[in-house]
Structure 1
Amino acid sequence: MPGTDPSPPLALRPATEVGADPAGGTLRTVLDWCVRYLLAPHPELGRTGSVCPYTAPSLRRDLLYLVELPGVTDVARISAAVGALRDQYQRTVATLPDDEAELLTYLLVLPDVDRTDPGPLDALQARVKDEFVTEGLMVGQFHPHCANPGLWNEDFRPLRSPVPLLAVRRMLVFDLPFLTGSARHFDAWANRFAGHLPARVRSLLSHRVVPG
């Protein structure tokens, strides 16, 4: 849960500000990747539509924010920043109406993390995911060598980005396929969204979940 003594806020910048900055640097690189890649279809995706259907409405409503941690490679420092970002996200999302809250997205850009060795970033994401999911949030890692397969094509690697980063957003009902690998994650999803499902459907879903 967010601490009672909030961490100092990170200097998040809205995508519109980053896009208008001619010297946008790494953040502009990430934003351009979002527009060129996440908003576009891909022949290996395995379905129609954009790579990430969530990104376009987030950008349209100016609810995508970016922050960069230059020079930071230590996992402990990155972990502390992730915790601060989570707390900041929860404080902000609590002030938004539901239609905006579900689009609020934070990107923590890590330009100096080793791009040839994704192990530490993958391990960090796996470690913090439990806490994020318990709080109704999703956290995902993107980097040049991300091996996570696509939902619709196991040979596609949709989470590869030019710069290492972590993305934070609110959990949505459509996130169930990302949460069936853990009973705890499924329970967190079910506690929020399964109340309107028939009991038989809930039972069928629960039997597809990996224990743990």
Structure 2
Amino acid sequence: MNSAVVIWTAAQVDDGDVPAEHLPHVREILAWSRDYLVTAHPDLGRSGPVCPYTQPSLRKGLYYLAAATTPDVPAAIEGLRAQYEALSRTLSPTDQELLTILLALPHLDYADSAELDALQSEAKDEFVANGLMIGQFHPECDEPGLWNAHFKALRAPLPLLAIRKLVVFDLPFVIDTDAHAESYLERFAPGIPTRIRDQLVRRVSSPLATAKG
């Protein structure tokens, strides 16, 4: 197994079964996940929790916390993907959609998300092509919310990356580039639900899309 990252279940983090140098960071992420991701927020712009996958993932024991054993973040990202794929192979298709790993990166700058944003953007091409999502969270992340541009949904107490399986409802997150959209359509086009197709049509026909064309 790739040694660039080490991972623990939420239960192991709760029990303190984590080396002392990593325990405060993964505990902070787990507490934030339970306090923020699983709850509704008045500024979210839609009903339901901030992340609809977190609570089911926690409930089924498929929510993992990770730490890097190297300052080389690209190597840690590759290690994270290897860990994810090894776990995923043991799961049913339904459980694969709930498998989530969050990687703490406390050595990155807490006041500026530029480095983390660039690392996520660089990794995203290969992740999406392989049917995975990778998202960045940061104390100063300025990415606008999907349903309310003024809501900074990706803010977290420390820099981190999260990975999970790409699912059909991820369309809004993969139309940032043609390559991502093509990977998504190759995987899901035959069974895209009506409301997701409508999102795609609206996006393609929007003034912004026209201007970019």
Cα deviation digits, residues 121-178 of structure 1 (max 9, x gap):
1101001100000000000000101111111100000000001100010001110011
> Could you say if the C-alpha distance between residues 206 and 196 of structure 1 is closer, same or farther in structure 2, counting changes exceeding 3 Å?
farther
Contact 2:69 2:76 (C-alpha < 8 Å) held by counterparts: no
1:12 aligns to 2:7 (yes or no): yes
Contact 1:144 1:164 (C-alpha < 8 Å) held by counterparts: yes
Gaps of 5+ in 1: 1-5
Two-structure CA RMSD over aligned residues (Å) = 2.5
Cα offset, 1:9, TM superposition: 6.7
Give me the TM-score of the superposition, normalised by structure 2.
Answer: 0.86
Following TM superposition, where does structure 1 have runs of at least 4 consecutive aligned residues deviating by more than 4 angstroms?
Answer: 208-212
Contact 1:15 1:66 (C-alpha < 8 Å) held by counterparts: yes
1:83 aligns to 2:78 (yes or no): yes
Give me the TM-score of the superposition, normalised by structure 1.
Answer: 0.86
Bigger Cα displacement from structure 2, 104-113 vs 8-17: 8-17
Q: How does 1:46-195 map to 2 (within 5 A)?
A: 46-69=45-68, 72=71, 77-195=72-190
Alpha-carbon separation, structure 2, partners of 1:7 and 1:62: 22
Query: Which SS does the other structure have where 1:12 is aligned?
Result: strand
Cα deviation digits, residues 92-132 of structure 1 (max 9, x gap):
21221011100001111011211012111110100110000
Cα deviation digits, residues 173-204 of structure 1 (max 9, x gap):
11001111111111111111111359xx5984
**Identity of paired residues, percent?**
44
Alpha-carbon separation, structure 2, partners of 1:204 and 1:45: 23
Query: Which SS does the other structure have where 1:48 is aligned?
Result: coil
Alpha-carbon separation, structure 2, partners of 1:25 and 1:38: 19
Letter in 2 for 1:99: T
1:207 aligns to 2:204 (yes or no): yes
Query: Which SS does the other structure have where 2:6 is aligned?
Result: coil
Cα offset, 1:66, TM superposition: 0.8
Matched length: 202
Gaps of 5+ in 2: none
Query: Which SS does the other structure have where 1:51 is aligned?
Result: coil
Alpha-carbon separation, structure 1, partners of 2:4 and 2:140: 30
Q: How does 1:22-61 map to 2 (within 5 A)?
A: 24-61=23-60
